[in-house]
Structure 1
Amino acid sequence: MVNMRKVFIFALIWLVCISNLFAQPAVSLDRKAIANSTQLSEAQLISDFEVNGLKVIVKRRPSAATVAVGLFVKGGVSSLTKQDAGIENLSLSLAIEGGKNFPKEVLRKELSRTGSVLNVEAGEDYSVVSLLSTKKNFDKSWQFFTDVILNPAFDEKDLPIVKEKILTTLKNKNISPDDFLDVLQRQYVFINHPYSIDPLGTEENLNRFTLDDIKNYYRGILQTSRLLLVIVGNVEIEQIRKKVSDAFSSLPKGDYKKAALPQLEFKQPRIHISARPLQTNYVRGIFAAPSISDPDYYPMKVAISLLQSRLHQEIRLRRQLSYAPDASMEDNEANTASIYASTVDVEETVKIMLEEIKKMREQLPDEDSFVGLPGFFSTTYYLRLETNAAQVGELARYEIIGGGWRNSLLFLEKINQVKPEDIKRVAQKYMKNISFVLITNNDNIGKKVFLEQ
């Protein structure tokens, strides 16, 4: 499924580029006007307010059949130590098992009856308890959403079950080669940085945490200064304001202050090799990237898309060295980008990757490859934010680490302002001192190609 999605994206880039080659200059002006008009109309649908220190962002989508809600806990792994890694995800996961008014069995029946979904995700920069509901059943869904958050049952019988689910996820990371690259990246690239901590924790930690540990930690995060609530759907602002006030006005405000997060340092090329009995090699090269609060984020986003297209052309189509070579950029506060391939000839593949990066550092992108990208980003932007849940995540990400939710509305405008010289500049600034993690069964692979950048 992942590979087919990548094939679709590359096909989409090609189609957009071809269509733009034959476009008249007036089309660019129309696109800019449409982007500005869209930005204005989107802003008119979004409101924010505070209740007892809790920031609330609401976006109305009048035609939406569903409502998505996210209660975000700020801090992420920078608020954890290696000793308590995983406790936030565990406490939130246990909380949504049931509340005092909606015990586990009642809650399960209500979720099934109303077609609602409760979920927890823990990331590097924040965690979230999410709700997806139909508009028709939103009032009822809101009741059990707020119940599990404000009055979690924390039933001791549920604790080993929740722990086992998380432990299974952790064990699976060591089975899949692609997931194991993530493990290696945390251990060897993010070493001595908060991102070296897995938000899911460790097997040792999970087995050690008691119910009292979980309750004590949960009480500490349930303060409005540390929370953010985002709602997207066919809802009325004043009704939401009343619901939030009724539910959250009695929570303590607390005095949460976000800790400064150090940037990741890439001072020199590095390579870590992990031996595994596999038929192919899996390699990822990680390097620094600007966060979404940095003006360089937008030219870097374009640069990575160009690099992805070039790697696909050179490595898959021309050399048939890898089915799905990739270049991507994360959206974290301390951000990174990466190049990736699974291949039988890893040295030749990495050599080509580094050659393409060198070209981007030394040469301006040619007009043919650059002109179609605004259309591509416009298309993928709307596809990516098609669901209410995706829009909840986007608004929260910009609010927490991107300088405020209003900046999320500027994405297409900023992308359209990127010039060829911006691509060369960010390639020179960020695409260097790449740290590689490699999974291989070949003892004869040399490090030279990885380190001569």
Structure 2
Amino acid sequence: MEQRRDGLLLDLRRPHERPDHERPAALRHDLRRLPTPRHRRAGHALGRRVLRRLAARRRSQDHSVSSRRTPILCAAALPLFWGGAGSGGVARSGPAPDTLTVAYDVAGLRVIQRINRASEVVAVRLYLLGGARQLTERTAGIEALLLRSSEYGTAQFPDETARRAMARTGSVVSLEPEVDWTVFGFTGLARDLDAVWRVFADRVTHPALSERAVAQARGKLLSRARTRYSNPDERIRILATAALFQDHPYALDPEGTEASLAALTPADLQAYGRDQLVTSRMLLVVVGNVERAQVESLVGATLGQLPHGAYQWTLPPPAPELKPHWLVEHRAIPTNYILAYFTGPPPTSRGYWAFRLATALLSSELHRMVRSERSLSYAAFAPFIDQAIPVGGAYASTPKPQQVLPLMTAAIETLQFSQLDYFALSRFVDSFAFDYLAENASAADQAEFLARADLYLGDYRLGDEFVKRLRSVRPTEIRAVASGYMRRIQYAYLGDTVRMRGHW
């Protein structure tokens, strides 16, 4: 379940883990995805869960969007758009200094470690930095194929031995190719760390990459790519990304296309591993009840033996500034899909926090206007993709796209021109922050939080200010980012073009 996630919250039961509510929560990758079982990451159900949390005090065990909850949601969203914009607020004390999170180098490899005595679970995440900027159209998916192939044999664990050794520990291996990096790691029990690490590290340092291993991994990735490019729920995101990031590295698919995956050879993987698997491209994050000395020993004897290289992490170039346009793919299907994307300010900007809240507010408005009041869609929300170039959007699947599009425009205009009530916005932020913190207490969530804060903000400690920065956003800043960023919108449409009736 961890192998494919770009979402904010995991629907995982964690019987071995107790969240430590006194620790800062994780800055997560909070892409609100389409809440339908057909979605490849439907388990995260991001848009639904955040919206329901904003609307209700108590969580339901049912993760579906029910009509019973709809009126409550609308009542929570509507009060934000009346009354004058106030100023000021109640001062809040900051968290106690974090003495259990440290950063250090082991043989040139940067390590961030958070010790959590309250949990038996340990999460290890290795970030291979660069993501799509390391790729070309021909090599798209090469890191995913290399690391997936290592599952079928390494120097110390030939053939199926690696898989069996990992399975004996019960640990869950995760592999997530993303536009800014590839994340390879595992989550397991602290007592099994030494055994799991041996397999994990050997997959990075000494993958066999035999013809048979590559063929097995390629088959799985090709099957995944065919689904990704044919399933409407996933295909629409590919179209929207292509519309937004023309001639930009983000336009490349880090998971690979059918053409690129089919063309890559074992020799390509071996050459890529020699050149790119260097410690300067790596960030290791460890969260759990593990001592620093143990981590240093494990890293120094394995990953620390890799060449250092000369890679330096930088933020990607800005997205191209384009006039609003449509990317359309005609399919004679009963349900039509509209997805509009717009980029936001970088995470280092103050406007980023206002943009994040504005996208959450837009999600509430879309749900109210499209689903609750008119029943034009089972899923209408605003996705948020947390990356170096953050992306917000507007999504709906509907049999009546010609009626939904004007409502999307109206929801955006509500944010741009309506006056927000300060105290209602404060309540909205409190609900947003509570849900965010409650759902990001696991070791894996904490690991990603630390990495994103370190790479996007420049210091892992700055992530602890997440809630403080959200609460500092003023209503005028919401209107400013909505007016400045949501007007630069690019549309993607998948479905029967006749049903749009010229409403492009």
Alignment partner for residue 197 of structure 2, among 142, 149, 155?
Answer: 142
Which of the two has greater helix per residue?
1
Alignment partner for residue 54 of structure 2, among 1, 6, 13?
Answer: 13
Aligned to 1:406: 461
Aligned to 2:17: none
Alignment partner for residue 71 of structure 1, among 122, 126, 129?
Answer: 126
Looking at structure 1, the residues matched to 163 and 499 of structure 2 have their Cα atoms a distance apart, in angstroms, of 54
Going from structure 1 to structure 2, the CA distance change for 1:137 and 1:307 (only over 3 Å counts) comes to same
Going from structure 1 to structure 2, the CA distance change for 1:308 and 1:81 (only over 3 Å counts) comes to same
Aligned to 2:448: 393
Is there any run of 5+ residues in structure 2 with no aligned partner, and where?
1-33, 37-44, 58-72, 80-88
Aligned to 2:483: 428
Please state how far the C-alpha of 1:206 moved relative to its aligned partner. Answer: 1.8
Alignment partner for residue 412 of structure 2, among 353, 357, 364?
Answer: 357
Please state how far the C-alpha of 1:239 moved relative to its aligned partner. Answer: 2.1
Please state how far the C-alpha of 1:194 moved relative to its aligned partner. Answer: 0.8
Matched, 1:316 2:316: no
Aligned to 1:52: 107
Please state how far the C-alpha of 1:189 moved relative to its aligned partner. Answer: 2.8
Q: Note if contact 2:153-2:213 (Cα within 8 Å) is conserved in structure 1.
A: no
Looking at structure 1, the residues matched to 344 and 183 of structure 2 have their Cα atoms a distance apart, in angstroms, of 24
Matched, 1:106 2:106: no
Going from structure 1 to structure 2, the CA distance change for 1:6 and 1:207 (only over 3 Å counts) comes to closer
Please give the per-residue CA displacement for 1:321-345, whole angstroms capped at 9, x wherever unaligned. Answer: 1122111221111222110001122
**TM-score, with normalisation over the residues of structure 2?**
0.82
Aligned to 1:25: none
How do 1:245-284 residues align onto structure 2 when only pairs under 5 Å count?
245-258=300-313, 261-284=316-339
Looking at structure 2, the residues matched to 78 and 378 of structure 1 have their Cα atoms a distance apart, in angstroms, of 32
**Matched letter for residue 14 of structure 1:** A
Q: What secondary structure does 2:397 align onto?
A: strand
Q: Note if contact 2:279-2:304 (Cα within 8 Å) is conserved in structure 1.
A: no
Q: Note if contact 1:264-1:335 (Cα within 8 Å) is conserved in structure 2.
A: no
Going from structure 1 to structure 2, the CA distance change for 1:131 and 1:7 (only over 3 Å counts) comes to closer
Is there any run of 5+ residues in structure 1 with no aligned partner, and where?
22-27
Q: What secondary structure does 1:91 align onto?
A: helix
Looking at structure 2, the residues matched to 371 and 413 of structure 1 have their Cα atoms a distance apart, in angstroms, of 12
Going from structure 1 to structure 2, the CA distance change for 1:374 and 1:224 (only over 3 Å counts) comes to same
**TM-score, with normalisation over the residues of structure 1?**
0.91
**Matched letter for residue 454 of structure 2:** E
Looking at structure 1, the residues matched to 138 and 446 of structure 2 have their Cα atoms a distance apart, in angstroms, of 34
Looking at structure 2, the residues matched to 108 and 272 of structure 1 have their Cα atoms a distance apart, in angstroms, of 42
Q: Note if contact 1:95-1:149 (Cα within 8 Å) is conserved in structure 2.
A: yes
Looking at structure 1, the residues matched to 159 and 90 of structure 2 have their Cα atoms a distance apart, in angstroms, of 56
Percent identical among aligned pairs is 29
Q: What secondary structure does 1:443 align onto?
A: helix
Please state how far the C-alpha of 1:11 moved relative to its aligned partner. Answer: 2.7
Going from structure 1 to structure 2, the CA distance change for 1:347 and 1:384 (only over 3 Å counts) comes to same
Q: What secondary structure does 1:225 align onto?
A: helix
Please state how far the C-alpha of 1:193 moved relative to its aligned partner. Answer: 0.9
Please state how far the C-alpha of 1:390 moved relative to its aligned partner. Answer: 1.7
Q: Note if contact 1:68-1:392 (Cα within 8 Å) is conserved in structure 2.
A: yes
Alignment partner for residue 359 of structure 2, among 284, 304, 309?
Answer: 304
Consecutive aligned runs of 4 or more in structure 1 exceeding 6 Å deviation: 17-21
Please, which moves more after superposition, 424-433 or 97-106?
97-106
Please state how far the C-alpha of 1:102 moved relative to its aligned partner. Answer: 1.9
Q: Note if contact 2:131-2:182 (Cα within 8 Å) is conserved in structure 1.
A: yes
Aligned to 2:295: 240
Aligned to 1:24: none
Q: Note if contact 1:96-1:118 (Cα within 8 Å) is conserved in structure 2.
A: no
Looking at structure 2, the residues matched to 447 and 411 of structure 1 have their Cα atoms a distance apart, in angstroms, of 43
Aligned to 1:334: 389
Looking at structure 1, the residues matched to 181 and 355 of structure 2 have their Cα atoms a distance apart, in angstroms, of 23
Q: Note if contact 1:271-1:447 (Cα within 8 Å) is conserved in structure 2.
A: no
Aligned to 1:162: 217
Matched, 1:130 2:171: no
Going from structure 1 to structure 2, the CA distance change for 1:258 and 1:63 (only over 3 Å counts) comes to closer
Q: What secondary structure does 2:379 align onto?
A: coil
Aligned to 1:372: 427
Q: Note if contact 2:426-2:471 (Cα within 8 Å) is conserved in structure 1.
A: no
Q: Note if contact 1:78-1:259 (Cα within 8 Å) is conserved in structure 2.
A: no
Matched, 1:2 2:35: yes
Looking at structure 1, the residues matched to 313 and 502 of structure 2 have their Cα atoms a distance apart, in angstroms, of 40
Looking at structure 2, the residues matched to 259 and 7 of structure 1 have their Cα atoms a distance apart, in angstroms, of 33
Q: Note if contact 1:85-1:202 (Cα within 8 Å) is conserved in structure 2.
A: yes
Looking at structure 1, the residues matched to 235 and 347 of structure 2 have their Cα atoms a distance apart, in angstroms, of 26
Going from structure 1 to structure 2, the CA distance change for 1:447 and 1:65 (only over 3 Å counts) comes to farther
Looking at structure 2, the residues matched to 250 and 11 of structure 1 have their Cα atoms a distance apart, in angstroms, of 48
Q: Note if contact 1:360-1:423 (Cα within 8 Å) is conserved in structure 2.
A: yes
Aligned to 2:244: 189
Please give the per-residue CA displacement for 1:293-325, whole angstroms capped at 9, x wherever unaligned. Answer: 222111111111111111111111111111221
Please state how far the C-alpha of 1:368 moved relative to its aligned partner. Answer: 6.1
Q: CA RMSD in A?
A: 2.3
Please state how far the C-alpha of 1:19 moved relative to its aligned partner. Answer: 9.9
Please state how far the C-alpha of 1:369 moved relative to its aligned partner. Answer: 4.2
**Matched letter for residue 289 of structure 1:** G
Q: Alignment length, in residue pairs?
A: 438
Q: Note if contact 2:241-2:341 (Cα within 8 Å) is conserved in structure 1.
A: no
Q: What secondary structure does 1:104 align onto?
A: coil
Aligned to 1:229: 284
Q: What secondary structure does 1:338 align onto?
A: strand
Looking at structure 2, the residues matched to 249 and 168 of structure 1 have their Cα atoms a distance apart, in angstroms, of 35
